[in-house]
Structure 1
Amino acid sequence: MTERSPPPRIHWPASVSRPVATPIFPSVAYAAGGPDELDAQYEGRTEGWTYSREGHPNAAVLADRLAALEGAPNPGTVTASGMAALTAVMMALLEKGDHVVGGDQLYGRCLVMLSEELPRLGIGVTLADPTDAAAIRGAIRPETRLVLIEVVSNPTLRIADVAGIAAACREAGALLVLDNTFTTPAGFAPFEAGADVVIHSVTKLLAGHSDAMLGWACAADPEIAARIARTAITLGLTPSPFDCWLAERGLHSFPLRFERASSTAGALADRLAELPGVRRVLYPGRADHPDSGRAAALLRSGGNMVSFEVGGGRPAAQALVEGAAGIPFAPTLGDVATVLSHPATSSHRALTEEGRAALGITEGFFRVSVGLEEEGPLLDAFEGAVRAAAAAAT
């Protein structure tokens, strides 16, 4: 039998300089120098990587940048999606017999998790109005482990009574889990407001280009943060190095994108409010928003999201989408391009018609994620779309 020489060792090219941009590290595994070195890594006596499901350089770099934006006390955990971040938190902190209070105005899949998946595991759930701290307080039980809210609800853009809910959580010894995706660190500081755990769908405005799917979860308590990280590793909620690299790149322009999109969103909300056929406009920066006082007190900006409703049912909704020339109709938000979505058939389609109606989500209800286009043509495009809807409704 012919003897074969072992494969050659790979030696990295030497360099006295460092890369300006973060390199991508797609390696699944990292070779150690032996059992002693591996023990030292797992026991925390040295730093290093082992297997990418347990962490990799690109996730670590992104986590540090996200934590800096949020003023977080630790890097938190980057996950494969926003829902993966929520899953890591729920599975890390809850067990059979626990109880959760959730805002009744959450992203559709969050509502599905609370109303279907958690009860299947023996975890009780009560939904209550997050704009009413008394309603949240009344829903809390002795076995309530955590309260989950969005600062600005998806897609109705209502503003939670964060101060009142945080106080209720402290009184009951429950954790406040706050989804800061819509508001972003540029619009709201959740840890300063009393949040115990903050989650993000990094996919959205933070990454900002609709080409990376990621989430992030961070707890103020280091023991809870470690528990969330272990759960994410065990459940295989690991993010892609390439997506982490893309998101980190997106963060460099995030402040500029947020400012530009927020300015245009305010102008769009004002234009929509003037158009015949528009029944209502929801934008936190407008004085006619139902929670305008709270929005002014809590938020640093009105944000880039606008919701509005037209009459005429499905025919008018279809006509509006067809008449929105050049505006993508897609179930996402936070892109550099303005995106139009229809919650009844996308984010909240898993709810019953009655459930959507209770939230004010009708066939004529639309959500707009405003991007970076020139303001004038964008507003004109929406005016044309609304006119098309009005024609279809008559």
Structure 2
Amino acid sequence: YGIESTLVDGLDLDQWQRAMRPNTRTCFLESPTNPTLDVLDIGAIAQIAHAGGARLVVDNVFATPIWQSPLQLGADVVVYSATKHIDGQGRCLGGVVLSTQAFIEEHIQTYLRQTGPSLSPFNAWVLLKGLETLSIRVEKQTANAAAIADALAGHPKVPRLVYPGRADHPQAETVKKQMGAGSTLVGFEVKGGKAEAFRFLNALRLVKISNNLGDAKSLVTHPATTTHQRLKPEARAELGISEGFIRLSAGLEHKDDLIEDLVAALEKV
């Protein structure tokens, strides 16, 4: 569509500032990021965007509306893949765009009506029913994710683990400032690269392999060969996505069963 874009390291506020141009209209970020769970300072980035006359759009899927409220932090628009936590049972596809009524009427409503990407009535009903249990599901999933992170941290076959709810997270202070709790997602590296990561994945019995997340079932994926497989190896390495990196989405199963399954699979590595 002839729209120019500039990529920045989201954690580096100076890069955001330098990237702003007189014609910049929109800044976009995801926090926590997929799949490495970096946490960006939404309030600080919003100030940079607004000072340059731009809007800030935040993808809030990993934090969910339960643990993070970007609009209150200064964002202008929030987007969700409603297929994730809002549905929470892998039943349908959908998305959500949240902003002021004026923004929706001026920029979204006509586009949806004239181009057709609006939800079907049935999918909308399923997602609305999912919202009724969103908070209790996310709270349980987050508790499970925290327990898994604590259980795997320091494991001899897990040289790296990232979870926003832990004190050793690289942006722990930002997490405290803008998130109510960690996340339902855990990222960790399996020692031995791709071959051992696959051995680990194939040894799992309770946790399922899927690119989805936020589901009632616990799910794992190998980003280097799925969600981020189109990136060149050097680009993945720059993002911290190694060949052994795993993204885990905690479900609603009992935490002891999940930990037992994960630890048993690590023994196969």
AA in 2 matched with 1:299:
M
Is 1:321–2:215 an aligned residue pair? Answer: no
Quote how far apart the aligned CAs of 1:290 are: 0.5
Q: Distance in 2 between matches of 1:173 and 1:226?
A: 18
Hey, what does 1:85 align to over in structure 2? none
Q: Distance in 2 between matches of 1:131 and 1:357?
A: 16
Q: Distance in 1 between matches of 2:104 and 2:50?
A: 16
* CA RMSD in angstroms, aligned pairs only: 1.2
Is 1:301–2:181 an aligned residue pair? Answer: yes
Select which of 222, 235, 238 maps to 1:342: 222
> Does the 8 Å CA contact 2:73/2:178 hold for their aligned counterparts?
no
> Does the 8 Å CA contact 1:275/1:386 hold for their aligned counterparts?
no
> Does the 8 Å CA contact 1:219/1:225 hold for their aligned counterparts?
no
1:19-30 equivalence runs, <5 A: none
Q: Where do 5+ consecutive residues of structure 1 fail to align? A: 1-120, 390-394
Select which of 15, 18, 29 maps to 1:135: 15
AA in 2 matched with 1:229:
Q
Hey, what does 1:149 align to over in structure 2? 29
Hey, what does 2:254 align to over in structure 1? 374
> Does the 8 Å CA contact 2:43/2:75 hold for their aligned counterparts?
no
> Does the 8 Å CA contact 1:341/1:368 hold for their aligned counterparts?
yes
Quote how far apart the aligned CAs of 1:218 are: 2.1
Quote how far apart the aligned CAs of 1:234 are: 2.1
User: Percent of aligned pairs with the same residue?
Assistant: 37
1:16-55 equivalence runs, <5 A: none
Hey, what does 1:201 align to over in structure 2? 81
> Does the 8 Å CA contact 1:132/1:161 hold for their aligned counterparts?
no
Find the residue that maps to 1:388 and give its secondary structure.
Answer: coil
Q: Where do 5+ consecutive residues of structure 2 fail to align? A: none
Q: Distance in 2 between matches of 1:290 and 1:382?
A: 24
Normalised to the residue count of structure 2, the TM-score between the two structures is 0.97
Deviations 1:17-70 (A, max 9, x none): xxxxxxxxxxxxxxxxxxxxxxxxxxxxxxxxxxxxxxxxxxxxxxxxxxxxxx
Find the residue that maps to 1:178 and give its secondary structure.
Answer: strand
Select which of 99, 103, 112 maps to 1:232: 112
Hey, what does 1:332 align to over in structure 2? 212
> Does the 8 Å CA contact 2:144/2:255 hold for their aligned counterparts?
yes
Q: Distance in 2 between matches of 1:338 and 1:226?
A: 39
Aligned length: 269
Q: Distance in 1 between matches of 2:247 and 2:170?
A: 17
Find the residue that maps to 2:132 and give its secondary structure.
Answer: helix
Which is higher, the Rg of structure 1 or of structure 2?
Answer: 1
Q: Distance in 1 between matches of 2:204 and 2:192?
A: 16
Is 1:124–2:4 an aligned residue pair? Answer: yes
Is 1:292–2:176 an aligned residue pair? Answer: no
Find the residue that maps to 1:281 and give its secondary structure.
Answer: strand
Hey, what does 2:58 align to over in structure 1? 178
Q: Distance in 2 between matches of 1:227 and 1:164?
A: 25
AA in 2 matched with 1:378:
L
Normalised to the residue count of structure 1, the TM-score between the two structures is 0.67
Q: Distance in 2 between matches of 1:355 and 1:233?
A: 38
> Does the 8 Å CA contact 1:181/1:200 hold for their aligned counterparts?
yes
Q: Distance in 2 between matches of 1:247 and 1:149?
A: 24
Find the residue that maps to 1:156 and give its secondary structure.
Answer: coil
Q: Distance in 1 between matches of 2:250 and 2:216?
A: 8
Deviations 1:284-325 (A, max 9, x none): 011111101111111001111100001212210110111111
AA in 2 matched with 1:286:
R
Quote how far apart the aligned CAs of 1:224 are: 4.8
Find the residue that maps to 1:317 and give its secondary structure.
Answer: helix
**Structure 1 residues 186 and 223, CA gap change in structure 2 (3 angstroms):** closer
Is 1:161–2:44 an aligned residue pair? Answer: no
Hey, what does 2:129 align to over in structure 1? 249
Find the residue that maps to 1:211 and give its secondary structure.
Answer: coil
AA in 2 matched with 1:321:
L
Deviations 1:124-181 (A, max 9, x none): 1111112222211111111111000012111110000111101101110101001111
